[in-house]
Amino acid sequence: MKADIPNILLVNPWIHDFAAYDFWAKPIGLLYLAAILRQHDFDVTYIDCLDRFHIGMPKTNLLKKDGKGPYLKTKIKKPAGLEDVYRNFSRYGIKPEWFIDELMKISEPDIILITSSMTYWYTGVIETIKVIKQIFPDTPIVVGGIYATLFKDHALQNLGADQVVSGPGEEHILNLVEKYTGFATSKRFKPDDLDTYPYPAFDLQRQIPYVPLMSSRGCPFSCSYCASTYLHSTRMVRSPELVVEEIQFWQKKYSVQNFVFYDDALLVDPEKHIIPILENIIRKDINVRFHTPNALHIRYISNKIAKLMFKAGFKTIKMGLETYDFENRKKLDQKVTKEEFLRAISSLKNAGFIKKQIGVYLLVGLPGQTLDSVIYSAATAIQKNITPVLTYYSPIPHTNMWKMALSSSRYDIKSDPIFTNNAIFPCWGKTFSWETISKLKKLIN
C-alpha cells in the first residue's frame, strides 16, 4: 500500500459535434465520484474542458438568469463519413492550450478518471486523452459514462484508455483506486442507497450557475427509444427531506438560484416522492427557480402536483409526449394516453403556467416516421397553446428500437457511434433531406 494519499484527477472532456449548448448540462456522475473520493480523504483535482467560466473566456459570455449559456466553439475537421453534412463541425469547450496550461499547473496524478456522455461525442474524449498523455504519459486513464457503457467494445478499441468501465461508477470507484494506486479504504457510503451519497462536488467548478438535482435514479418504464433501464437497472429514490436539505445547502452556501432536476422519472409514485418534496420547499419558503429539462411523465401531472410545482417555483416544464399519433404510438411507449395529455395541459394552465413555460418534447427522425406525423404533433401542441420542442432521435444500442434503427439507417451505426448523431437524422430514410428539415424548423417557428 502507498504511504501517501493518492492524487486523483477527474476530467470532463470536450464535445465534438455540429451543435452544442449548455442547456443545464453538467457531468453529475463524475462530480458524484469526486465527492465520494473526497469523502474518503483522497486528494481530488477537477478540470472541465467545457468550462464556460474559464479565465480566458470572452467577457461577452455573461451568466444568464437561468444559468444556461453557450460553450466556446472552434471549427474542426468533420469525421470520416460525414463530409457531406452541410453544417460546420466544432470542438466545444476551452482551447487546447488552456487545457494544457491547466494540466501543467497540477502535480502528476496517480490515476485519471474521464467521463463520456453522448455516444457520438467520443471523438472529443479521444482528443482529451491525447492531450493528457502529452503531459502525463505514464498515468493510468480510466473512462466511464454513457458512451463507455453503451459502446464498451468500441470504447476499448478506440479511446486509448487503460480501462473502460461500464455502469454506475460508484460501484467501482474505490476498487479502481486500489487497483492502480495500491491504496485501500473501506466504504463510507452504500452504492445502492442514494441517501448515503455526499452532494456532488459542484464547488470544484469556477462558478456554480445552477445545480442539477438527482432525487431518484432509473425509470420503471421501458420506452423503445430510451436506454434508461439499461444504464440503471435498479431504481433508487432519495428521501424527500434530504433532497430539500441539499437545495437549501447550495442556496445558502453558494447563493445558487437555479436547480435542475435530472431524474428520468421525477413524478413516479408522487405521494411518497415529489409531493413531499414540493410541500417541504413551500413550507420552508425556499425562494429559487426549478427546471425540468428531462421529460416529465405526463400521466402524473394532476391538478394538485401542477399547483404545487407552480407555488414551489418551477419555471421550466418539459413533458415527454414524443408524438400525438396515439393510434400508432404503442411501438414507442405506453406511458401516456390522449386524455392524460389533455388533462395535464389543463392542470398546468389552471395552476398558472404560461405557454413559454410549458414545452412538449416531440421525437423527430424515428425509423418509419412520416413528416406529416411530426407536423401534426407540432400543430396540435401549438393549437393547445403550449410550446413544441423538436427532439431529434439518436439510435441507442440495448433499446427495443435498436434493431429497427439498424435496418433503417443509411449509415453503419453498429460499427461506429459517430453515425448515431441525431443532427444527421441517421434513421430517417426516404423522408430525409436537409431542405425538408429546414422547412420543418421554419414551420414550427
Last residue of a domain, one of 181, 196, 227: 181
In this model, does residue 230 exceed pLDDT 90? Answer: yes
403: domain CATH number? 3.20.20.70
Q: Grid coordinates in use for 288?
A: 429559487
What are the angstrom distances between the C-alpha of 142 and each of 111, 125, 133, 148, 186? Answer: 8, 11, 13, 10, 21
- Write down the H helix ranges in 71-121: 96-105
Where a domain ends, among 127, 160, 181? 181
Instruction: Please give the residue range of the domain that contains residue 33.
Output: 7-181
If one counts the domains in the chain, the total is 2
Q: Which amino acid is at 167?
A: G
Helix (H/G/I), strand (E/B), else coil: 374? helix
What is the pLDDT at residue 440? 79
Spell 235-256 as b/e; 16+ CB within 10 A means b: bbbbebebbbebbeebbeeeeb
pLDDT in tens, 306-362: 999 999 999 999 999 988 887 777 777 778 899 999 999 999 999 999 999 999 999
Instruction: Identify whether the C-beta of residue 205 lies closer than 8 Å to the C-beta of residue 30.
Output: no
Do residues 172 and 39 share a domain? yes
Last residue of a domain, one of 181, 204, 224: 181
Give the pLDDT score at 61.
54
User: Diameter of the chain by CA atoms?
Assistant: 67
Mean pLDDT, the chain, whole residue set: 94
pLDDT in tens, 36-91: 999 999 999 999 999 999 999 887 655 678 999 999 999 999 999 999 898 999 99
Residue 1 belongs to some domain of the structure: no
Same domain flag for 172 and 221: no
Torsion 269-275-276-278 (CA) sign: positive
Assigned domain for 190 exists = no
